[in-house]
A and B are shown apart, each in its own frame.
Chain A
Amino acid sequence: MAHIRLDRVTKIFGGTTAVRDLSLDVENGEFFVLLGPTGAGKTTTLRLIAGLEKPTSGTIAIGGEDVREWSAAERDVALVFQYYSLYPRYTVYQNLAFPLKSRARHYSAEEIEERVHKAAQTLRIDHLLDRKTDKLSGGEMQRVSIGRAIVREPKAFLMDEPLSNLDAKLREALRSELKDLQMKLGATFLFVTHDQIEAMSMGDKVGVLNKGRIVQVGKPQEIYNAPRDVFVAGFVGSPAMNLLAGEVRGGRVSAMSGKVEVPLNGAAGKPSSGRRAVTVGIRSEDISVGPDEAVEARVHDVENHGVEKIVTLRVDEHLFRATVPATVAVNVESPVKFSFNPSKLHCFDRSTGANLAFSA
């Protein structure tokens, strides 16, 4: 069993709190992604679980057992880093066999042979086994370092931005490969990244970290469709969610100095008795553009993304983005009309950033 549980874990380095009161449950066989910007505490969390750091307070359990006194080796988790750290003079085979040759493990020669070949097959590097690792491409090197983690059949895999160093196309390909691998192995993966596309596309569950705290845990769709606060809203999704100053007044929401006003949808929060200053959030795909829409704007910029266009619209000095099909002709500085879809609108408290749908 490789259920990983963190209970109120805090880690302080000198005067800096890297991880604050963090609780987390990673189920056995789950692909869990920790997502956050640089400095959010993702890597520290991973290192705490691996046993490379000790928590200042709180408990960490793997498979139901408190691992406080366990060394990194005893925890039986495999770490894969952004940098491959392979032995350059060794062949791929030797690199894969290396973790099995430790005296503590007592594997027979046949068993090592079998495990190496199985891992190589899974990762489709069996044709590279005799190659020295300095003769490999970046993607192949990263496959080998994942292979080195697989051969040990650890309880869980901890991965620290393993795709960040690869170019865009390779990253895309390895994303599906990793997800496929995890499904095949049925193993527990805890994957750390700052790339929201990686998190969305691979995670069964995503935990969003900001400033050492877990802000939200949920399925990718939940994180995308129902962000708990304005940080998650702005961090997940590309283009970023439009965040505009606005207010809730009675049963209506307005934004952009009152230029847009829509009824407050029940899902976005309760009507306010007085005026309440909010940040209005709406994704580019939830804004319709067309001749019959409600509000006038100017086209500020047009980005062609092939399958669709992302247009930046301007109302007075306010800028926001809308997605339109690639076939729609739009020209910079031409007038257009748009509407917000009220059922897809979010309201965040202006001072706390909390999504009103989840709070009073």
Chain B
Amino acid sequence: MAEIVLRDIEKYFGDNYVIRKLNLTIAHKEFVVLLGPSGCGKTTTLRAIAGLEEIDSGDILIDGKPVQGLQAGERDIAFVFQLFALYPHLTAYDNIAFPLRATRESRSEVDAKVRAVAHSLQIEHLLSRRPSHLSGGDMQRVAIGRALVRRPKAMLMDEPIGALDAKLREEMRTELKRLHLENDQTTVYVTHDQVEAMSLADRIAIMNEGVLQQVGTPEDVYQYPANLFVAQFVGSPVMNITKAKLDADGARTKVMLAEGAAAFDFPPDLEQRIASAGRPSSDLVLGIRPEGVLVSRGEADGHIPVEAHIIEPLGAYDIVDLKVGSEFLRARTTSGFVGKPGDTVWAKLDQSQTHFFDSGSGDAINVRLG
């Protein structure tokens, strides 16, 4: 068992909060990713769990027991850093076996454990090599092996694949995920890369400026972002965000974008629904992901004509900038769908993928359409 509970954690340097009233429960066997930009407090949080950093108030509980009084070594947690931190003079085998030195296990027990870990990481053939003769990916595999070999209650990882190149990161993502499935260790993983977070996590905890913004499954945070920060931090290309005004005449409601340069039909009761969600409908911000902007080559019901600007061909699909007044709406289309910049196409917003936010607080207005 290894359930980690963070209760009202605070940490500050002088007047600056690094972590503010953080509450988070990481369930036994769960893979939780702390996601946020640099300086958001995610690494400090991870280091506090590990016992490498003191907190100023609040409680950290592992399996129900407060651990603030325990040294890092007594918490039975393994830590993997972005930089490999291997002993350069030891072979991969000895690096992995190192944490077992103090355990007074017999040589054959140690050997069995090292080989089992090496097998699951597929580095058995590299065990006799020194770190200087390993590639970046293999070094990180060895570092992970060293963390795993003790069978710790929990694994904490701080951007463990951040230093690897793009292709290797893709491969390592899958390996890390499989490893977690096989070993069932509670894992807390820190990254600033939303793709990594989305692909690895059971749940993502998004932080900004020391404050937890939202905790949820990848589907949750992608489809129902709690505020503008989450909406724009998760997803690539970034969600379109634009000021919106409602124009209702009882029978229908139009959502006006870019100072009225574009008007899209929405359900007549939209204004009412926004009002009953408890927010004023004056300063509205509309958010829609590129795949929620539907594009047609010809006139179509509910679509408005727009001019295509830059087309980014990304291989499997294109991202097309559509000129709406002085702004752009980015749409995701099939590859080659829009011929060239300057072409006129017709666009509409998929209502089920349209989000509304309060421009003042940045909070999402909980109206789900379609």
The interface of chain A, by Cβ under 8 A from chain B, is 37-38, 167-169, 172-173, 175-176, 179-180, 183, 194-197, 200-202, 220-221, 224, 234-240, 283-285, 300-301, 303-307, 310, 312, 319, 323, 326, 332
Within 8 Å of chain A (Cβ to Cβ): is B198?
A: yes
Q: B218 to A304, Cβ gap below 8 A?
A: yes
Q: A303 to B332, Cβ gap below 8 A?
A: no
Q: B316 to A283, Cβ gap below 8 A?
A: yes
- In angstroms, how far is the closest chain B Cβ from the Cβ of A68? 36
Question: In the complex where A168-B193, A169-B232 touch, is A176 in contact with B310 (Cβ < 8 A)?
Answer: yes
Q: A306 to B234, Cβ gap below 8 A?
A: yes
Within 8 Å of chain A (Cβ to Cβ): is B289?
A: yes
- In this complex, the member of B200, B219, B310 whose beta carbon has the largest number of chain A beta carbons within 10 angstroms is B310
Instruction: Return the 6 tightest CB-CB contacts between A and B, nearest first.
Output: A303-B199, A201-B312, A306-B222, A224-B315, A304-B218, A285-B316
- In angstroms, how far is the closest chain B Cβ from the Cβ of A308? 9
Q: A304 to B198, Cβ gap below 8 A?
A: yes
In the complex, chain A residues whose CB is within 8 Å of the CB of B178: 300-301
Q: A200 to B314, Cβ gap below 8 A?
A: yes
Given contacts A167-B37, A176-B312, A236-B315, 20 further A-B contacts (CB under 8 A): A167-B192, A168-B193, A172-B237, A183-B341, A196-B166, A200-B314, A201-B313, A224-B315, A237-B316, A301-B177, A303-B198, A304-B198, A304-B199, A306-B198, A307-B235, A307-B291, A307-B332, A310-B199, A312-B174, A323-B316
Q: B236 to A168, Cβ gap below 8 A?
A: yes
Within 8 Å of chain A (Cβ to Cβ): is B134?
A: no
- In angstroms, how far is the closest chain A Cβ from the Cβ of B165? 7
Within 8 Å of chain A (Cβ to Cβ): is B57?
A: no
Within 8 Å of chain A (Cβ to Cβ): is B116?
A: no
A167 to B35, CA, bound (A): 14
Q: B321 to A304, Cβ gap below 8 A?
A: no
A284 to B291, CA, bound (A): 19
Find the A residue at minimum CB distance from B289.
A307
- In this complex, the member of B167, B200, B238 whose beta carbon has the largest number of chain A beta carbons within 10 angstroms is B167
A183 to B340, CA, bound (A): 13
Chain B contacts with A in 27-48, Cβ cutoff 8 A: 37-38
How many A-B pairs have beta carbons closer than 8 Å: the answer is: 98
Q: A221 to B165, Cβ gap below 8 A?
A: no
Render B352-370 as a binary contact track against A, CB cut-off 8 A, 1 for contact: 0000000000000000000
Q: B177 to A224, Cβ gap below 8 A?
A: no
In the complex, chain A residues whose CB is within 8 Å of the CB of B223: 306
- Our pick among B166, B235, B316 for the contact of A306 (Cβ within 8 Å) is B235
- In angstroms, how far is the closest chain B Cβ from the Cβ of A349? 22
Find the B residue at minimum CB distance from A37.
B165
A252 to B7, CA, bound (A): 62
Chain B contacts with A in 274-322, Cβ cutoff 8 A: 289, 291, 309-310, 312-316, 319, 321
A180 to B321, CA, bound (A): 11
Q: A237 to B332, Cβ gap below 8 A?
A: no
Find the A residue at minimum CB distance from B336.
A221
Within 8 Å of chain A (Cβ to Cβ): is B335?
A: yes
Q: A234 to B232, Cβ gap below 8 A?
A: no
Q: A221 to B291, Cβ gap below 8 A?
A: no
In the complex, chain A residues whose CB is within 8 Å of the CB of B315: 200, 220-221, 224, 236-238, 283
- Our pick among A173, A300, A307 for the contact of B174 (Cβ within 8 Å) is A300
In the complex, chain B residues whose CB is within 8 Å of the CB of A303: 173-174, 177, 198-200
Within 8 Å of chain A (Cβ to Cβ): is B261?
A: no
In the complex, chain B residues whose CB is within 8 Å of the CB of A307: 235, 289, 291, 332
In the complex, chain B residues whose CB is within 8 Å of the CB of A167: 37-38, 192
In the complex, chain A residues whose CB is within 8 Å of the CB of B195: 305
Render B175-206 as a binary contact track against A, CB cut-off 8 A, 1 for contact: 00110010000000000111100111000000
In the complex, chain A residues whose CB is within 8 Å of the CB of B167: 234-235, 240
Q: B314 to A201, Cβ gap below 8 A?
A: yes
- In angstroms, how far is the closest chain A Cβ from the Cβ of B317? 8
Within 8 Å of chain A (Cβ to Cβ): is B170?
A: yes
In the complex, chain A residues whose CB is within 8 Å of the CB of B38: 167
In the complex, chain B residues whose CB is within 8 Å of the CB of A200: 312-315
Chain B contacts with A in 71-99, Cβ cutoff 8 A: none
17 contacts across the A-B interface (CB closer than 8 A): A168-B193, A169-B232, A176-B310, A176-B312, A196-B166, A221-B313, A237-B316, A238-B315, A303-B200, A304-B198, A304-B199, A304-B219, A305-B198, A305-B199, A306-B234, A306-B289, A323-B316
A221 to B311, CA, bound (A): 12
- Our pick among A197, A239, A283, A310 for the contact of B314 (Cβ within 8 Å) is A197
A180 to B309, CA, bound (A): 9
A126 to B170, CA, bound (A): 40
A221 to B339, CA, bound (A): 13
Q: A201 to B319, Cβ gap below 8 A?
A: yes
Question: In the complex where A169-B238, A283-B316 touch, is A238 in contact with B174 (Cβ < 8 A)?
Answer: no
A201 to B237, CA, bound (A): 12
- In angstroms, how far is the closest chain B Cβ from the Cβ of A331? 11
Find the B residue at minimum CB distance from A305.
B198
Find the B residue at minimum CB distance from A304.
B218
- In angstroms, how far is the closest chain B Cβ from the Cβ of A316? 16
In the complex, chain B residues whose CB is within 8 Å of the CB of A285: 316
A62 to B170, CA, bound (A): 40
A151 to B316, CA, bound (A): 37
Q: A168 to B312, Cβ gap below 8 A?
A: no
- In this complex, the member of A194, A301, A310 whose beta carbon has the largest number of chain B beta carbons within 10 angstroms is A301
- In angstroms, how far is the closest chain A Cβ from the Cβ of B242? 15
A312 to B176, CA, bound (A): 13
Find the A residue at minimum CB distance from B290.
A307
Find the A residue at minimum CB distance from B217.
A304
Chain B contacts with A in 237-291, Cβ cutoff 8 A: 237-238, 289, 291
Render B153-177 as a binary contact track against A, CB cut-off 8 A, 1 for contact: 0000000000001110010011001
In the complex, chain A residues whose CB is within 8 Å of the CB of B312: 175-176, 179, 200-202
In the complex, chain A residues whose CB is within 8 Å of the CB of B289: 306-307
- In this complex, the member of B37, B192, B235, B236 whose beta carbon has the largest number of chain A beta carbons within 10 angstroms is B236
A238 to B313, CA, bound (A): 13
